[in-house]
Structure 1
Amino acid sequence: MELAGKLWEYHHMNHTMRPADCIFALGSHDLRVADRATELYLEGLAPLVIFSGGLGNVTRGIWTETEADQFAGIAIRKGVPESAILVENKSTNTGENILFTQQLLKEKNLDPRTFIVVQKPYMERRSFATFKKHWPDKELLVTSPQLSLLEYPNEEIPMERVINIMVGDLQRIRIYPAKGFQVHQDIPDNIWNAYEMLVDLGFSSHLVKE
């Protein structure tokens, strides 16, 4: 858990929230992301909420309604007006979330300059790096459900899986810039050492072949 805690902290961007042109929530199986996006809207931090996500690798097997549509439903039930919501419900990964949302905004003749990106806690940094690769001229803050590592796991995503995903995401942060998927992010030696120790302990199910 000490090693996992180091990765958890590294994956967080620790941005301080401030007003922006829009809130951009990236879809997934974790409905708490929609709760966080809704919370930010109701606090008055942006006039527009974009929910992006079709059915991905995880949700394709458990849901029939797209991630973005479910997220939008949560927001509306909690008090966000439909007129303040845009839905992009075809994307299946973070890169597509961004590219398909770019297309949607262009169709709507909208050009927000500042974004609050809402994602799962362990995907904050990778979302930041992906966004800056595909949308370098925009300003962004990244946030996630305000939960600790011990609070985050639930029946759908137990602790073992959370750690496996964090390990896999750190590997992607290291190798994806060379593939053109993300901008570079520095990885301190102590974080990479924790990664290697977790891999040695068997947390390797989310790794990709290099």
Structure 2
Amino acid sequence: MNNIIKDIGDFIFIENKPENADAIMVVGGSFPELSEIAADLWKNNYAPYIFIGGGVSVKTGIFPGPRTKQEIYNKDYITEYDFYKDVLLMNGVPESAIVGENRSSFTRENALFAKNVADEKKMNLKKVLLICKAFHARRCLMFYQSAFPNVEFLVIPFEVYDLTKSNWFQSEYGIKRVLGELKRCGDQFTADDIKNYSNSFGV
């Protein structure tokens, strides 16, 4: 494999093995599998709480509905939060274990508003399992690590659109998606993010 292709894949696609943690955080979206993964981790005692978040799309102003499994999750969901919560409840997670917000519209807000919730509830988080789409992993980690500079994040990805680290460059769609993420990682990473990282890691 060409080195530059491998380097891009290694940068964008991140995957860690789950470990016992203080919380599970699900990045906003419309794939029920993300919340299903969170429910499985919770039921296997990896963490006591699941953070969910998300309002409506910043592009359309609405929640578009589930991308998959519409036959199972078929209610009229107003926000991503409503959708994710229903998935969790239907998969055996009690409401007492679910925390979150329904206002965020994009990834950075998912992270920042999760931090607000954690602060409001005085949750002392040290390690978090972060569940997101596989090709979205680097940008999610960037924003969540910036919002929670003292937390260790382990990324638990879910592959969507058949895009993986080993095949993304084999289709025009995959190239567009992954290089788009690469561009956003540069465009959306700010001086404040760099400052947060620097203060956290003593750089």
- Output the TM-score relative to the length of structure 1: 0.71
Aligned CA distance change for structure 1 residues 79 and 54 (closer, same or farther; 3 Å): same
Equivalent residue letter for 2:50: V
SS at 2:188 equivalent: helix
- Aligned partners of 1:160 and 1:111: how far apart in 2? 44
5 Å-filtered alignment, 1:1-210, equals 6=6, 7-57=8-58, 60-61=61-62, 62-63=64-65, 64-145=77-158, 147=159, 150=162, 161=173, 163-181=175-193
Alpha-carbon spacing, 1:11–1:76, altered in 2? closer, same or farther (3 Å): same
Deviation sequence 1:119-156 (CA, Å, 0-9, x none): 111111111111222221111111122x486378xxxx
Aligned equivalents of 1:10, 1:46: Cα separation in 2? 27
Q: By how many angstroms is 1:56 displaced?
A: 1.7
Residues 61-110 of structure 1: CA deviation (Å, up to 9, x unaligned): 42452112211110110111111111211001121112112222222232
Q: CA deviation at 1:51?
A: 0.4
Identity %: 25
What stretches of structure 2 of length at least 5 have no aligned partner? 66-76, 165-170, 198-203
Q: 1:33 to 1:170 in 2, by over 3 A?
A: same
Q: CA deviation at 1:181?
A: 4.8
CA separation of 1:144/1:178 partners in 2, compared to 1, >3 Å: closer, same or farther?
same
Mapped partners of 2:172, 2:104: distance in 1:
27
d(CA) in 2 for partners of 1:148, 1:66? 21
Matched pairs, number? 175
Root-mean-square deviation (CA), in Å?
2.8
The amino acid that maps onto 1:94 is T
Work out the CA distance in 1 between the residues paired with 2:162 and 2:154: 24
- The SS at the match of 1:129 is helix
Structure 2 residue identity aligned to 1:121: A
Q: What secondary structure sits across from 1:164 in the alignment?
A: helix
Distance 1:173 1:74, change over 3 A: same
Contact 1:114/1:139 (8 A) holds in 2 = yes
1:10, distance to aligned residue in structure 2 (A): 3.7
Task: Verify the 8 A CA contact 1:8 1:149 in the aligned structure 2.
Answer: no
* Residue pair 2:133, 2:160 contacting (<8 A) in 1 also: no
Gaps of 5+ in 1: 153-158, 185-210
Instruction: Say if 2:54 and 2:103, in contact at 8 Å, map to a contact too.
Output: yes
CA 1:17 to 1:80, structure 2 compared with 1: closer, same or farther past 3 Å?
Answer: same
Change in Cα spacing, 1:180 to 1:162, as seen in structure 2 (3 Å) is farther
